[in-house]
Amino acid sequence: MKLVRKVRIKNALGLHARPATMIVKLLLNCKSEVTFTHKRAVINAKSILSILMLAATKNTQLTVTVDGDDADDIMDKLVTVFENGFGE
């Protein structure tokens, strides 16, 4: 199953090292392919360096695509961490 959602970065510092690490840990045992799209860049969300290369700041909108067997669960978890501002 393929799911696509738009999320907005709410935390003040954007996608810096701590939120990027949180995302990668969340996706550690994920079976699905997960990508983030920002402007023209499409990155593998399981790669901390790729997430950091987006240089996404507060209020940046990302398109999250999850494609695989556990897509529902993974999308729910990702949307929740973005909505909660990564606990910051």
Band the pLDDT of 9: cuts 50, 70, 90. Answer: very high
3-state secondary structure (DSSP) of residue 3: strand
Q: What digits encode the pLDDT tens for the residues 24-64?
A: 999 999 999 999 999 999 999 999 999 999 999 999 999 99
Catalytic site residue from 16, 38, 46, 77: 16
Q: Is 38 a catalytic residue?
A: no
The tally of domains found in the chain comes to 1
Note the pTM of the prediction, 2 decimals: 0.91
- First-to-last alpha carbon distance for the chain, in angstroms, is 31
Q: What is the CATH number of the domain that holds 24?
A: 3.30.1340.10
The range of the structural domain enclosing residue 22 comes to: 2-87
Rounded Cα gap, residues 75 and 81, in angstroms: 10
3-state secondary structure (DSSP) of residue 1: coil
Concatenated DSSP letters of 46-83: T-HHHHHHT---TT-EEEEEEESTTHHHHHHHHHHHHH
